[in-house]
Amino acid sequence: MLAQAITIYQDSPRATHWLGRHLERFEEPVRLAVVGPPRSGTTTLVQAIGDSPGELTVVDAPAPAPGTIEGTLSEADAVLHLVRHPHHAELDFLHTVQDHPIARAAAVNAIIVLSRADELGGGRVDGLISARRLARRYRREPQARGLCQDVVPVAGLLARAARTLTQADVDAFVELARVPRAQLEAHLLSVDRFAALSAGHAELLARFGMFGIRVTLPIVRRDVRTVEDLFAQLVPRSGLAELLESIEKNFTRRRSVLKARSALLGLEVVLRMEPRPAAAELASQLEQTLASAHDFRELRLLAAIHTGRVKLPEDLRAEAVRLTGGQGTGLAERLSEVDLRGAIQRWRHYAENPALGSAERRAATVVLRSCEAIASGTLR
């Protein structure tokens, strides 16, 4: 469709440049924009996630002024929305972003991050526990439905410190662990008291934050003293592990769908800004594609299952995830341990079973469509 559009718009340099750029993007890594209000921690989190060459490019996208949202996000295939508290007005921004017909039809490219998650627990070592509870609750709320694929809490500062950990940091913690406990406790009561320990420790504090120090110290006390080992302990504790997993599952592994989504959005902009009779056919083709794109439905279903918005019995749940590509979109991954003919009968039955809730019946219909697409060989 992009190639067709380039032919139709060859006399418009602006349109062909824009469309050509969208064609190029198919070859590029998934482009992930990290968006949030000032001081929500976007810069810190971008450094914590880091690029994965050939797979993922992460860009820091400070919250744009109202009205420039489309421009900022049109370059991204997927978005992390940072909020410091989910019930804050900050979420209105996300509603605005998704308040576009195509964005809504394909709201499959966003993860909400509860950033600076350690602060939700008041800096206590178990801070992330309350943040996780909040995220779990929020994932199921109607307000989040249709807006995002997942809600994940992350203590970005600790995550970045883990990512950039050096042997010198480990040594500084080892030295800290030698200070008698009672004496150290007094220093751990406040940032000022801690910084007073020594200049080197002030730097450690700046990089790890008080939460990071409190979390890391007991690990080092348990004799974890190499960069690799400490890194392995800090990645899950900062929430970074869960975030990377969610990015992988929802974005990197679904690269082709996200790229297609970006291209459709890009095409829509040209068709809307420079309408012409020769493009009418293309416009209706675009509409049809969006209405029937099964890939988007699969992505939404997987997110609904993952977040608990759709509740299926355990065995059905596992099969639904596999058949809709949650373990990999290839035929082998979809069909492992599944007899396709039996699955089609089963899922048709579930789709019509009045004992299931309406969300579950709709889910079964999506799984059924996936099975039928596999059977007819039309699955891309």
Ligand X SMILES: Nc1nc2c(ncn2[C@@H]2O[C@H](COP(=O)(O)OP(=O)(O)O)[C@@H](O)[C@H]2O)c(=O)[nH]1
The CA distance from 108 to 333, in Å, is 21
Residue 41 interacts, among Mg ion, ligand X, none and using kind-specific CB cut-offs from 5 to 8 Å, with: ligand X
CB of 116 to ligand X, least distance (A): 4
Phi, psi torsion values for 294, nearest 5 degrees: -70, -30
Work out what residue 295 binds among ligand X, Mg ion, none; the CB cut-off runs from 5 to 8 Å by kind. Answer: none
Q: What's the closest the beta carbon of residue 60 comes to Mg ion, in angstroms?
A: 6
Residue 44, contacted partner among ligand X, Mg ion, none, CB below 5-8 A by kind:
ligand X
**Could you tell me which stretch among 43-51, 151-159, 249-257, 303-311 binds Mg ion (CB under 5 A)?**
43-51
What does the binding site for ligand X look like in residue numbers (CB under 6 A)? 36, 38-44, 116, 118-119, 155-157, 209, 211
Minimum distance, C-beta of residue 35 to Mg ion, in the bound complex (Å):
11
Least CB distance from residue 44 to Mg ion, whole Å?
8
Closer to Mg ion at the Cβ: 43 or 130?
43
Judged by beta carbon distances under 5 to 8 A according to partner kind, the member of ligand X, Mg ion, none in contact with residue 116 is ligand X
Q: Which of ligand X, Mg ion, none does residue 121 bind (CB under 5 to 8 Å by kind)?
A: none
What is the rounded distance in angstroms from the CA atom of residue 77 to the CA atom of residue 33?
8
CA distances from 198 to 175, 177, 204 (A): 11, 14, 10
Binds Mg ion by CB under 5 A, chosen from 4, 12, 16, 43? 43
**Contact characters 263-302, Mg ion, x per CB under 5 A:** ----------------------------------------
Residue 379, φ and ψ in degrees, nearest 5: -70, 130
Q: Which does 156 bind (CB under 5 to 8 A by kind): Mg ion, ligand X, none?
A: ligand X
Shorter beta-carbon distance to ligand X: residue 37 or 326: 37
Three-class SS of residue 122? coil
With respect to Mg ion, which residue has the nearer C-beta, 59 or 69?
Answer: 59
Contacts of 188 (CB under 8 A, 6+ apart): 194, 210, 213, 214
**What long-range pairs does 337-343 form, CB within 8 A, spacing at least 24?**
340/371, 340/374, 340/375, 343/319, 343/371
| Distance separating alpha carbons of residues 324 and 69, to the nearest angstrom | 32
Closer CB to ligand X, 148 or 155, in the complex: 155
d(CA 329, CA 230): 34
Piece in contact with Mg ion (CB under 5 A), picked from 41-49, 80-88, 97-105, 244-252: 41-49
Q: How far is the CB of 244 from ligand X (least distance, A)?
A: 15
Q: Please, what is the minimum distance in Å from the beta carbon of residue 117 to ligand X?
A: 6
The residue count for binding Mg ion (CB under 5 A) is 1
Of the candidates 74, 70, 42, the one whose C-alpha atom is nearest the C-alpha of residue 58 is: 42
Q: How far is the CB of 46 from Mg ion (least distance, A)?
A: 8
Q: Is 47 in the site for Mg ion (CB under 5 A)?
A: no
- Separation between Cα atoms, residue 154 and residue 161, nearest integer Å: 13
- How far is residue 321's CA from residue 336's CA, in Å, rounded to a whole number? 12
CB of 170 vs ligand X, minimal distance in Å: 21
The closest alpha carbon to 63, from 33, 32, 98, belongs to 33
Q: Give min distance, CB of 15 to ligand X, in A.
A: 34
Task: Name the residue nearer to ligand X (CB basis): 159 or 230.
Answer: 159
The 3-state secondary structure of 230-266, one letter per residue: HHHHHHHHCCHHHHHHHHHHHCHHHHHHHHHHHHHHH
* Amino acid symbol at 2: L
| Contact residues: Mg ion, CB under 5 A | 43
